Amino acid sequence: MAYRNGRFAALDIGTVTCRLLVADVDAGRIREVAKEYAITDLGVGVDATGRLSQEAIERVLSTVDRYREVLARNDGPAHPVERLIAMATSASRDAENGADFVRQLAEHGVSLAVIPGEREAQLTFVGASSDFPGENLLVVDIGGGSTEIVAGRFGEGPVAVRSFDIGCRRVTERFFRDDPPTAAQIGQARSWMREAMASYFADLADRGFAVDRVVAVAGTATSVVAIREAMEVYDSSRVHRARVTAAELQAIERRLAAETLAERERTVGLDPKRAGVIVAGLVILEEVLALAGAEAYTASESDILHGMILEAAREE
């Protein structure tokens, strides 16, 4: 794959977060210039109502306006931004008024593509796999509305790509009616996840694909590292490529699942705005590791944003 050199930007609008990356590409390598993150909760209520609320849309639009200012500060004669690529994922796919959301973003100067889950998974794999050449990888991206899982090797076509409608926001709203969630509610969620995902892992086994490393991206996986290390200030350099054992993950899940939302919001290392969905995210990650037969995962800061940057830089 050939990539143009230059400065590019990627905007990822998910069910829970809205993120921006401005980066320089040189011979296919990415150097981050600016990175922004905000929890905008676009997908609140979508699983039940099938619609994006105008309040949630306004949160995203306000964040995008702020990101455009960041983009302008990093777009100059010496280093012009060649292209901005903007994509939306699960909540926008599911919502019956997704087209209206696209129209409103266009009025704010952003042309948005609502991408299918399999495309989301492929872009995540491109971003995450680049750090682990020569390994059989299982890349897991736990979002608010869906979880993408890709098996393969860097630089090669994926062996198996699936997008499951299992995300931390969706699971929370569908199963966790109490605060904290009951053991029965968590058990029901686990059974639902296993039933949905088991065939994917059975197919991998039938193909003889042996996973060398599970790489987990996005907020659930990275938050576990920050919580384990009690980071009062998030440090991506300590999170990226950190190894988390299944036992460590389980200990954090059991601790947070026993706490109320107010208690979870005070957890050192956890963004308080993520406290409402973190337990569901942890349970999803636990189930993926169990189905994969993996003893640990590697957290990665290289995710769909990096895949989008390379997509923007790809030679036509």
Are residue 62 and residue 163 in the same domain, yes or no?
no
Q: How far is CA 212 from the centre of its chain?
A: 21
Prior bond of 180 cis (ω within 30°): yes
- Asked whether residue 1 is domain-assigned, the answer is no
CA angle 110, 167, 147 (to 5 degrees): 80
Average pLDDT of the chain?
93
Are residue 146 and residue 180 in the same domain, yes or no?
yes
Contact between 115 and 13 (Cβ < 8 Å): no
- Asked whether residue 54 is domain-assigned, the answer is yes
Are residue 281 and residue 246 in the same domain, yes or no?
yes
- Asked whether residue 294 is domain-assigned, the answer is yes
- Asked whether residue 253 is domain-assigned, the answer is yes
In this predicted structure, the answer to whether residue 311 has a pLDDT above a threshold of 90 is no
pLDDT score at 264: 97
- Asked whether residue 240 is domain-assigned, the answer is yes
What is the mean pLDDT of the segment spanning 133-140?
Answer: 94
What are the DSSP E strand ranges found in 196-314?
213-217, 243-245, 296-300
- Asked whether residue 76 is domain-assigned, the answer is yes
Using 50, 70 and 90 to split pLDDT, how confident is the model at 43? confident
Are residue 131 and residue 152 in the same domain, yes or no?
yes
68 to each of 8, 34, 93, how far by Cα in Å?
13, 12, 24
- Asked whether residue 74 is domain-assigned, the answer is yes
Q: Which of 213, 221, 166 is nearest to 192 (CA)?
A: 166
Are residue 152 and residue 106 in the same domain, yes or no?
no
Q: What percent of the chain has pLDDT over 90?
A: 76
Are residue 309 and residue 294 in the same domain, yes or no?
no
pLDDT tens digits, 166-206: 999 999 999 999 999 999 999 999 999 999 999 999 999 99
Are residue 26 and residue 152 in the same domain, yes or no?
no
In this predicted structure, the answer to whether residue 315 has a pLDDT above a threshold of 90 is no
Are residue 271 and residue 179 in the same domain, yes or no?
yes
- Asked whether residue 102 is domain-assigned, the answer is yes
Are residue 40 and residue 147 in the same domain, yes or no?
no
Sheet architecture: strand order including 160-164? 160-164, 147-152, 137-142, 213-217, 296-300, 243-245
Using 50, 70 and 90 to split pLDDT, how confident is the model at 121? confident
In this predicted structure, the answer to whether residue 117 has a pLDDT above a threshold of 70 is yes
pLDDT score at 299: 97
Are residue 61 and residue 204 in the same domain, yes or no?
no
State the CATH number of the domain containing residue 183. 3.30.420.150
Domain range holding 22? 6-117+304-313
State the CATH number of the domain containing residue 66. 3.30.420.40
**Can you read off the two tokens belonging to residue 27?**
């011979």
Are residue 256 and residue 197 in the same domain, yes or no?
yes
CA angle 173, 161, 244 (to 5 degrees): 65
* Overall pTM > 0.85: yes
Are residue 73 and residue 163 in the same domain, yes or no?
no
More confident position, 114 or 210: 210
pLDDT score at 47: 81
Q: Which of 49, 62, 57 is nearest to 88 (CA)?
A: 57
Tally of structural domains, the chain: 2
pLDDT score at 133: 87
